[in-house]
Amino acid sequence: MIPNVDSPRQRWWLAALTLFTFLFLLGSRSLNEPDEGRYAEIAREMIELGDWIVPHFWYVPHLDKPPLTYWTVAVSMSVFGQNEWAVRLPLALAGISGVWASYLFGCALGGRRVGLWSALVLQTSLLYFGMARMLTTDIILTQFMAWAVYFFWRSWRSLEDAEAKQKFFFAWHLAGWTAVALGFLTKGPIAFVIPLVCPLTLSIYRWHDVRRRKAVFGGLIAGLALFVVLVVPWFLAVFHRVPRAFDFMVYGQTVGHALGTTIRNRRGPLLYYFAILGVGFLPWTFLLGWLWRRAYWRSLASRQKDAWIMVISVLVALRFFGTGPGSNAPQPPGWTWRVCMLSPLVLMVVVPVLVPPLFGVFAPAGLKFQVAVGAAALGLSAWRGRRFSQDHCAVGAVVFALLNLQFIAANIPSLETRLKSNQTLKPLGAALRANYRSGDALVCWGRLPQGLPFYAHPVISSTNRPYLGGMPLNQVPFEFPGNRERFGDLVLPDELVLIQLLSGNQRVLVVAFSGTFDHFQHAVADQTLRLVARAGQWELISTR
């Protein structure tokens, strides 16, 4: 057992460890395509254009998502400058926020020991760590959902004492609705649906308790009113300013996502998501199956059964590190704990071995060092681990997981131009800035380099937009109604128009996907094309 869990010193150690987990090496990696580049560029254009209401991407409206993620990134860049650390700081803070919610929820369910381990399990999980360093809406949405669940739980528990605590029900309930509203402004209806399952499911579970059902219904009415006040103004402002925004956002995005007609990049079957959860919860995946044993369920107190119905975010800590009801239930065999402890070390050894053949590169020195450290720690831990207790294995899992995660963060920059469609465009942006001269024409051909303006500004700006061609006109940035017309003559209709542009007297720089240089160098009779730079799968081509 971990001693003196309630001591202030231990809580300070947890806070310091959490800050280290999410802030160390935060800005060491460049922005990857397409998501990080797109989100960062939208936030940058908010600052450049001074328009914080309508998100723009490549200087045309982009309304795929509500604006909260863009707002947080734009505020961070306004304070700390245009760099990767500032771009990812809101993600790190969201990760810390989610850990804090998990800690408080764990404390409420099983005391500070459960809260401590809830925080440790969450921040050492592979997927959660990755989300807190990848610029998407996911981690920001996740923290709001975590807070919504926690606040709804507190509101539900406040009804236990009808006289002393019921007055706090609406305060907690409205706090939950505030979190739902912020989640909606992050990623839309998914934030509205998932946390609300919690109080509704609990009401069904306790259907015989009329007083609770009435309280939840009253809270629902008040919460919906607060939700409308917080969410609707931004949507009304956008609908007023941008023609056809209502149809696109309501019918195209919300209804389309509900029907599955506009969901992209999710082609796997339903079991695919369970596989992601299994890998993403490493090194704690091997404990999940033990949560559903009947003996454990029967041993739980009433309020802990309520928590099971509501959420499983802290159940691993409650089940395996709690000291209250349920702690005497059958424990997993010792090998399960040793597997949890050793799995991060296995990843430290296996992943670097797989990287060279997957990406066609020689293993960087950092990966070789990682293999050496991981193999030594794996051998020593496997030898000594048979004598470890459950708590020793759990502490080892935390330490080795953090070591593995930070090794990943340290070594990814050496591979960031080898990640195929997910590579960074930072070297390409630097080459474009170095070679561009006033008066040059700029063309992006074959595929949209989504995050290029972030790294190429001011070469690409609101007053110096490039020609676009050779790319689908039903995808970003053309998918929003009217965007094709907003680009006007900047859209090149076919290869012949590009060839004419390349054959003219004006110097032309072309940012193109791999293979474009070979394709066009013989088609332009009056000019000699020059390959200025190659960055991963992208090329920078010049006419002179």
Residue carrying the six token digits 């949507």: 235
Rounded CA-CA distance 143/91 in Å is 10
* 306 band by pLDDT with thresholds 50, 70 and 90: very low
How confident is the model at residue 195, as a pLDDT?
Answer: 63
Residues near 401 by Cβ (< 8 Å), separated by ≥ 6?
124, 125, 126, 282, 283, 344
Prediction pTM value: 0.89
**Of 125-129, 183-187, 188-192, which range is least confident?**
188-192
How confident is the model at residue 334, as a pLDDT?
Answer: 73
How confident is the model at residue 414, as a pLDDT?
Answer: 78
Q: Average pLDDT in the 304-326 region?
A: 52
Rounded CA-CA distance 83/30 in Å is 9
pLDDT > 50? residue 210: yes
* 51 band by pLDDT with thresholds 50, 70 and 90: very high
How confident is the model at residue 212, as a pLDDT?
Answer: 72
485-520 tens-digit pLDDT? 999 999 999 999 999 999 888 999 999 988 888 888
Domain boundaries, given as residue ranges, for the chain: 90-321, 335-415, 425-542
**Of 178-182, 387-391, 441-445, 485-489, which range is least confident?**
387-391
How confident is the model at residue 331, as a pLDDT?
Answer: 64
- Decide which of 537 and 274 is more confident: 537
Whether the bond into 34 is cis, omega within 30 of 0: yes
**Of 29-33, 218-222, 345-349, 414-418, which range is least confident?**
414-418
Q: Average pLDDT in the 478-490 region?
A: 94
How confident is the model at residue 465, as a pLDDT?
Answer: 96
* Strand 538-542 relative to strand 508-513, pairing: antiparallel
From residue 458, give the alpha-carbon distance in Å to each of 264, 433, 466, 533: 31, 8, 12, 19
Q: Average pLDDT in the 273-287 region?
A: 75
How confident is the model at residue 70, as a pLDDT?
Answer: 97
* 72 band by pLDDT with thresholds 50, 70 and 90: very high
How confident is the model at residue 101, as a pLDDT?
Answer: 92
Counting runs of H as helices and runs of E as strands, what totals does the chain give? 25, 8
Please tell me whether residue 533 adopts helix, strand or coil conformation. strand
- Decide which of 274 and 224 is more confident: 224
How confident is the model at residue 3, as a pLDDT?
Answer: 44
Neighbour count for residue 128 (Cβ, 10 Å)? 23
Whether the bond into 283 is cis, omega within 30 of 0: yes
pLDDT > 60? residue 368: yes
Q: Average pLDDT in the 232-255 region?
A: 87
How confident is the model at residue 2, as a pLDDT?
Answer: 45
Residues of the chain with pLDDT > 70, as a percent, come to 81
Rounded CA-CA distance 127/138 in Å is 11
Q: Average pLDDT in the 380-388 region?
A: 83
Residues near 100 by Cβ (< 8 Å), separated by ≥ 6?
119
Rounded CA-CA distance 444/471 in Å is 9
* 261 band by pLDDT with thresholds 50, 70 and 90: very low
Q: Average pLDDT in the 7-35 region?
A: 89
